[in-house]
Amino acid sequence: MKTLVVYFSRSGHARELANVLSGAMRADCEELIDVRNYKGFFGPVRGAVNALRKSITHICPPRFHPRDYDRVILVTPIWGGIATPAVRSYVDQYGDMCKKIMLFSVSKKSHVDKVKEDLEKTFSVVIENAVGFTEAQLSKGDVLTQMREMSAKNG
Ligand SMILES: Cc1cc2nc3c(=O)[nH]c(=O)nc-3n(C[C@H](O)[C@H](O)[C@H](O)COP(=O)(O)O)c2cc1C
Report which protein residue has its CA nearest ligand 1's atom 9: 110
For residue 154, pLDDT over 70 is answered with: no
Distance from Cα 31 to the centre of ligand 1, integer Å: 17
Instruction: Map residue 67 onto helix, strand or coil.
Output: helix
* Cα-based angle 59, 86, 7 (whole degrees, multiple of 5): 100
Q: Is the pTM here over 0.85, yes or no?
A: yes
CATH 3.40.50.300 fits 3-153, yes or no: no
CA distance 96 to 140: 35
Residues sharing a CB contact under 8 Å with residue 47, sequence separation 6 or more, in sequence order: 10, 38, 79, 84, 85
DSSP designation for 31: E
CA distance 155 to 62: 36
How confident is the model over 115-139, as a mean pLDDT?
A: 95
CA distance 120 to 9: 21
CA distance 21 to 32: 16
Protein residues whose CB sits closer than 6 Å to any atom of ligand 1: 9-15, 44, 47-48, 51, 77-81, 106-110, 135
> What is the structure's pLDDT at 155?
59
What distances in angstroms separate CA 100 from CA 87, 119, 126, 139, one per listed residue? 16, 14, 8, 29
pLDDT tens sequence across 129-146: 999 999 999 988 777 887
Distance from Cα 81 to the centre of ligand 1, integer Å: 9
Q: Tell me what the pLDDT averaged over the chain comes to.
A: 92
For residue 28, pLDDT over 90 is answered with: yes
Q: DSSP H helical segments within 57-111, as ranges? A: 85-94
Instruction: Map residue 36 onto helix, strand or coil.
Output: coil
For residue 151, pLDDT over 90 is answered with: no
In ligand 1, the atom with minimum distance to the C-alpha of 45 is: 1
In ligand 1, the atom with minimum distance to the C-alpha of 107 is: 17
